[in-house]
Structure 1
Amino acid sequence: MPRPLIGISTYVEESTRYGVWDLPASLVPTGYYELVQAAGGAAVLLPPDEPARAAEVLSRVDGLVIAGGPDVDPVHYGAARDPRTGDPATVRDHWELALINAALESRMPLLGICRGMQALNVALGGTLHQHIDGHVETPGITSWHPVRPVPGTRYAALVPEEADVPTYHHQAVDRVGSGLVVSAHALDGTVEAIELPEPDRWVLGVQWHPERDKDTRVMSSLIEASSLTLAPV
Structure 2
Amino acid sequence: MDRRPFVGVSTYLVDASWSDWRARRVALVPERYTAYVRDSGGVAVLLPPDAPERAPEVLARLDALVIAGGPDIDPAYYGQPPHPMSDVDTVERDVWESALLRAALAAGMPLLGICRGMQVLNVVCGGTLVQHLPDVVEVDVHGGTPGKYGTHVVRPVPGTLLGGLLPEPELTVPTFHHQAVDRLGTGLRVSAHAPDGTVEAVEGPGFTLGVQWHPEQGDDLRVMQALVRAATAARSVQLEPVEVG
TM-score (norm: length of structure 2): 0.91
Instruction: Report the counterpart of residue 59 of structure 1 in structure 2.
Output: 60
Stretches of structure 1 that go unaligned for 5 or more consecutive residues are none
Is 2:146 the counterpart of 1:139?
Answer: yes
Q: 3-state DSSP class of the match of 1:208?
A: coil
Is 2:209 the counterpart of 1:208?
Answer: no
Measured at CA, do residues 64 and 137 of structure 1 come closer, stay the same or move farther in structure 2, by a change above 3 Å? closer
Q: Distance in 1 between matches of 2:167 and 2:182?
A: 24
* Letter paired with 1:157: G
Q: Distance in 2 between matches of 1:195 and 1:83?
A: 29
* Letter paired with 1:213: G
Q: 3-state DSSP class of the match of 1:221?
A: helix
* Letter paired with 1:37: R
Q: Distance in 2 between matches of 1:82 and 1:68?
A: 19
CA deviations 1:10-51 (Å, max 9, x no partner) are 0110x1001111200101111101011111111110001100
* Letter paired with 1:81: P
* Letter paired with 2:152: H
Q: Distance in 1 between matches of 2:52 and 2:128?
A: 22
Select which of 170, 184, 187 maps to 1:179.
187
Measure how far apart 1:110 and its partner are.
Answer: 0.4
* Letter paired with 2:187: G
Stretches of structure 2 that go unaligned for 5 or more consecutive residues are 135-139, 241-245
Displaced runs of 4 or more, over 2 A = none
> Over the residues paired in the alignment, what is the CA RMSD in angstroms?
1.2
Q: Distance in 2 between matches of 1:158 and 1:219?
A: 10
Identity across the alignment (%): 55
* Letter paired with 1:203: T
Instruction: Report the counterpart of residue 189 of structure 1 in structure 2.
Output: 197
Instruction: Report the counterpart of residue 225 of structure 2 in structure 1.
Output: 220
Alignment of 1:54-93 (within 5 A): 54-93=55-94
Instruction: Report the counterpart of residue 167 of structure 2 in structure 1.
Output: 160
Q: Distance in 1 between matches of 2:88 and 2:203?
A: 28
Is 2:129 the counterpart of 1:121?
Answer: no
Q: Distance in 2 between matches of 1:208 and 1:12?
A: 22
Asked which structure has the greater CA Rg, the reply is 2
Measured at CA, do residues 164 and 95 of structure 1 come closer, stay the same or move farther in structure 2, by a change above 3 Å? same
Q: Distance in 1 between matches of 2:98 and 2:45?
A: 18
Instruction: Report the counterpart of residue 97 of structure 1 in structure 2.
Output: 98
Measure how far apart 1:138 and its partner are.
Answer: 1.5
* Letter paired with 1:142: Y
